[in-house]
Amino acid sequence: MNGRQQAVFARAAEERRAVLIGYFPAGFPSVEGSVRVMAAMVRGGVDLLEVGLPYSDPLMDGPVIQAAAERALREGATTDDVVRVVSRLTELDAVPLVMSYWNPIERFGLERFATQLADAGGVGVITPDLTPEEAGDWIAVTDACEIGRTFLVAPSSTDARIERVSRATSGFLYAASTMGVTGVRTQVSDAAPTLVERARAITDLPIGVGLGVSTEQQAASVAAYADGVIVGSAFVRAVQEAGDITAAEYAVEALSAELARGVRT
């Protein structure tokens, strides 16, 4: 695991709490606006930032994140902009990683992407649609650049599959708490604790749970058994409902503070 990412999980473990991981797409509502929003998320208590790389065919994203990604693409957001956003956040002492589907990374160039991301201060990459079997070149370049790799497991994953994914992962293990697309839910799937328990029997990697968390109570529930609580759609929706960028900053900072209380409960 990248040293800065490892330090985030180590510090949270010392404090006997989970890491709060916040997702937000670069370029929404603009490139500069996304930097301001993510900086506000960190001020509120987000420990680790997932900087989303907008993509035109987001298989796992629900309507909230899809709409934000489409807006970012209409505004002209590029992979170079994502790297610049990571660099700006690093300058603000945030700890950013990138969440991206595989196609944009492959088009950009694996070595070029990993090298530029590392130079910008990025600590890792989450690739939800890349399997370990297809990741040989990616494993080589990320190892060379010393950035973490995060792959996903799901409730349907067999123990053998969890072991295979864990061996290919060098960041945290992403446990999707439900089958299907992302989005705010009234409750987090009951399958999540069982999935984390199964994964803990197989790997010592930190385990983050995502897909559905939006409230302090949900964050506290997930933090009781996971090392990381991942929140995305709730932050994006807060910005979509805000009247302007200043209101958006206030909204996401307040939401971050609420969720940060949850992971500390």
- Any residues with CB less than 8 A from the CB of 256 and at least 6 apart, and which? 20, 22, 40, 41, 42, 43, 44, 45, 46, 235
Kindly state the helix (H) or strand (E) to which residue 150 belongs, with its residue range: strand 148-150
Cβ atoms < 10 Å from Cβ of 261: 14
Q: Is residue 176 over pLDDT 50?
A: yes
Averaged confidence pLDDT in the chain: 94
Which domains does the chain possess?
Answer: 3-263 (3.20.20.70)
Q: Each residue of 211-230: pLDDT tens digit? A: 789 999 999 999 999 999 99
Averaged pLDDT for residues 83-105: 97
265 or 138, higher pLDDT:
138
Distance in angstroms (rounded) separating the CA atoms of residues 24 and 71: 13
Mapped onto helix, strand or coil, the DSSP state of residue 147 is coil
Evaluate if residue 180 carries a pLDDT over 50: no
> Residue 170 is encoded by which pair of tokens?
């060098």
C-alpha–C-alpha distance, residues 126 and 97, integer Å: 8
- DSSP for 15-40 reads TTSPEEEEEEETTSS-HHHHHHHHHH
Highest mean pLDDT among 57-71, 90-104, 206-220 belongs to: 90-104
Known catalytic residues are 50, 61
Q: What is the 3-state secondary structure (H, E, C) of 174-204?
A: EEECCCCCCCCCCCCCCHHHHHHHHHHCCCC
Per-residue pLDDT tens for 100-136? Answer: 999 999 999 999 999 999 999 999 999 999 999 999 9
The pLDDT assigned to 265 comes to 86
Band (pLDDT 50/70/90 cuts) for residue 257 is very high
> Does residue 200 have a pLDDT over 80?
yes
**pTM of structure:** 0.94
